[in-house]
Amino acid sequence: MADKNVRLRDEVGKAILEIVTYYQPIHTKDIWYELGEDDRFKDGIKLTEVNETLFQLEKRKAIIRGKNDHWKRPR
């Protein structure tokens, strides 16, 4: 079960990076919406999961938070 959760978290992280790269800067709720449109996440993604993944990606310096909770990739 834990292995499945890790894979899901990795897939969500990868999808968020793709979304941020394409739409940057993008607001958290818009990322959440885009994930809801992704066929990989048919069961849905909770906003709390998106926020946690964004926090982890920011901690790894894969993304940065800009004004008004908009996310972008670092230069």
Q: What is the distance between the alpha carbons of residues 48 and 22, in angstroms, rounded to a whole number? A: 22
Nearest to 10 by CA among 69, 70, 57, 74: 57
Tell whether the model's pLDDT for residue 2 goes beyond 80.
Answer: no
How many C-beta atoms surround the C-beta of residue 46 within 10 A? Answer: 10
Sequence spans of domains, the chain: 2-24+31-61
Question: Tell me: the pLDDT tens digits for 10-69?
Answer: 999 999 999 999 999 999 999 999 999 988 888 889 999 999 999 999 999 999 999 999
